[in-house]
Amino acid sequence: MVHIDYSQLAEKYGTPLYVYDSKQIEDNIRRIARSLNYRHSTMYFAVMCNNHKNILSVIRRNGLGVQINSVHELQLVKKAGFKNSAISFTSTGISTDLMKTLIREGIRINLDSVEEVDKFCTLAQNRKFGVRIRIPKSISARSLQATNTNRHSHIGIEEKDFKSVLKMADAARNSITGVHGYFASNVLEMTPFQHYAPYMCTMASSFPDLEYVNFGSGFGIPYAPGQKAFDIKKILALFALHVKALSHKYDRPIELIIEPGRTILADAGSLLVQITNIKHLNSNKYEIAIDAGYAELARPLLYGSYHAITTVNTTHRQPVNYDIRGNTVLQNDFLGKNRMLEKVREGDYLLIRKVGAYGAVMASGFPGKEIPKQLFL
Ligand SMILES: Cc1ncc(COP(=O)(O)O)c(C=O)c1O
């Protein structure tokens, strides 16, 4: 990580300010690419975690494709210079208009339901497409820090419907060439992935025209103290092992695809904020108010997510127990509770860490605020 003078940045650009370290993004990409030790593999960056044009340009420079899930993202990635062949689309509830656009542009698409397959086959013939696989609830993240889990979801096509989608595809002279899966976000446990990898490859082998297995992502990162780093190398090696076995079975190379977002961006971004008020709660407890909150960073209120908070330029001051409160009217808008920080004063700056993914892109401005600026170093 490069040394950054955050006070200077705050004075120059104002706060709240998202600050990204482009080198860290590139380091993360390289680390994941090195772990993806399989010749026929493709990495699509999940644009949903942050679609800023500067991030897209780092992604393109590093040779990754992009995973998108809306027409807006399609426009953004095309503007950023991505070719149609470097774009993969996976979403739910795809409208007829959007599907027509994706077909016209020849973008790789993974369909979520029997109904979407039907729609696709009415609109297009002699084409390829992939299907999203319904991941059973038995393969699910158990730990609390995981979000976006499949526990209550109907995303994807069930195994019992494979025959009918194959029939629809056949009737329209289309071929089902890929499978796609995703079961939860920010998963730190190994066990669900150890069940997921063989499950995906077993499902994939129902499709005679198979060309790829897209495992999505969900790879977690440690946000809170004591959380262990996710062993992405081990999981990618496991994916490779199963896809190699499939390649052997099909007697042709099957492509292994992943779509990471968080592992590329989260630790490359911080939210720089200023302390606007300090409330004395009791003899040893204070509440800090800052010039940001739910409007700028939704994850803590939305998911109870932990983000490390650090002081800026306060070396050697006495540690004090603080709650850090967002400046909205929402009663539970806390960015952190019971954080031991060096004693701070009104006007000092704080950094909320690891917010590069699902930070700025989820900033709603609610209630009554502007969307924060984003700065790239
Ligand atoms: C289909 C799909 N692919 C990729 C991602 C990115 O996942 P992550 O940020 O966990 O790497 C998501 C996130 O929800 C997703 O839904």
CATH number at residue 218: 3.20.20.10
> pLDDT tens-digit profile of 192-217?
999 999 999 999 999 999 999 999 99
For residue 325, what are the contacts with CB-CB under 8 A and spacing of at least 6?
287, 288, 289, 290, 293, 333, 334, 335
Angle of helix 22-35 versus helix 232-250 axis, rounded to 10: 40
Do 246 and 223 fall within a single domain?
yes
Residue with CA at minimum distance from ligand 1 atom 2: 216
The CA 153 to ligand 1 mean position distance, Å, reads 15
The CA 67 to ligand 1 mean position distance, Å, reads 9
The CA 228 to ligand 1 mean position distance, Å, reads 20
The 3-state DSSP class for residue 101 equals: helix
> What domain range is 301 assigned to?
6-16+267-376
Pocket test for ligand 1, best of 49, 87, 180, 239 (most atoms within 8 A of CB): 49
* Ligand 1 atom nearest to CA at 180: 1
Do 222 and 286 fall within a single domain?
no
153 pLDDT more than 90? no
- Is the distance from the beta carbon of residue 88 to the nearest atom of ligand 1 less than 6 Å? no
Report how far residue 63's alpha carbon sits from residue 11's, in angstroms, rounded to the nearest whole number: 35
Answer whether 342's CB lies under 8 Å from 315's CB. yes
Do 253 and 177 fall within a single domain?
yes
Do 176 and 28 fall within a single domain?
yes
Report how far residue 268's alpha carbon sits from residue 262's, in angstroms, rounded to the nearest whole number: 10
362 pLDDT more than 60? yes
Residue 143, pLDDT score: 81
Report how far residue 192's alpha carbon sits from residue 196's, in angstroms, rounded to the nearest whole number: 6
In this structure, what CATH number is given to the domain that contains residue 365? 2.40.37.10
On the 0-12 / 13-18 / 19+ scale of CB atoms within 10 A, 116 is buried
If one counts the domains in the chain, the total is: 2
> pLDDT tens-digit profile of 287-305?
999 999 999 999 999 999 9
88 pLDDT more than 70? yes
Do 329 and 244 fall within a single domain?
no
Residue 242, pLDDT score: 98
C-alpha dihedral (205, 206, 208, 209), degrees to nearest 10: -80
Share of the chain above pLDDT 90, in %: 93
pTM of the model: 0.96
* Ligand 1 atom nearest to CA at 260: 11
**Does 66 fall in a domain?**
yes
- Give the CA distances from residue 187 to residues 137, 145, 255, 274, in Å, rounded to whole numbers and listed in that order: 15, 7, 23, 32
2 pLDDT more than 70? no
Residue 314, pLDDT score: 79
What is the DSSP secondary-structure string of 166-186?
HHHHHHTT-EEEEEE----BS
Do 249 and 299 fall within a single domain?
no
What is the β-pairing status of strands 212-214 and 175-180? Answer: parallel
**Does 46 fall in a domain?**
yes
Do 59 and 195 fall within a single domain?
yes
pLDDT band for position 1 (cuts 50, 70, 90): low
Report how far residue 220's alpha carbon sits from residue 229's, in angstroms, rounded to the nearest whole number: 8
pLDDT band for position 78 (cuts 50, 70, 90): very high
> pLDDT tens-digit profile of 12-35?
999 999 999 999 999 999 999 999
What is the DSSP secondary-structure string of 15-62?
SSEEEE-HHHHHHHHHHHHHH---TTEEEEEEGGG---HHHHHHHHHT
Residue range 184-191: mean pLDDT, rounded: 96
Residue 150, pLDDT score: 87
- Residue at a domain's end among 265, 300, 324: 265
Q: Which residue has the tokens 């010749």?
A: 39
Q: Mean pLDDT across the chain, nearest whole number?
A: 96
**Does 73 fall in a domain?**
yes
- Residue at a domain's end among 234, 265, 296: 265
Residue range 101-113: mean pLDDT, rounded: 97
Answer whether 212's CB lies under 8 Å from 256's CB. yes
Do 242 and 276 fall within a single domain?
no
Angle of helix 232-250 versus helix 191-204 axis, rounded to 10: 20
Do 39 and 122 fall within a single domain?
yes
- Is the distance from the beta carbon of residue 44 to the nearest atom of ligand 1 less than 6 Å? no
- Is the distance from the beta carbon of residue 262 to the nearest atom of ligand 1 less than 6 Å? yes
Residue 70, pLDDT score: 96
Q: Please calculate the CA angle 152-129-241 and round it to the nearest 5 degrees.
A: 75
Do 246 and 197 fall within a single domain?
yes
Do 88 and 236 fall within a single domain?
yes
> pLDDT tens-digit profile of 246-265?
999 999 999 999 999 999 99
Do 245 and 339 fall within a single domain?
no
The CA 184 to ligand 1 mean position distance, Å, reads 8
**Does 199 fall in a domain?**
yes
Answer whether 254's CB lies under 8 Å from 335's CB. no
Residue with CA at minimum distance from ligand 1 atom 3: 216
315 pLDDT more than 90? no
- Residue at a domain's end among 236, 265, 294: 265
**Does 1 fall in a domain?**
no
What is the DSSP secondary-structure string of 233-301?
HHHHHHHHHHHHHHHHHHTSPPEEEE--SHHHHGGGEEEEEEEEEEEEEETTEEEEEES-STTT--HHH
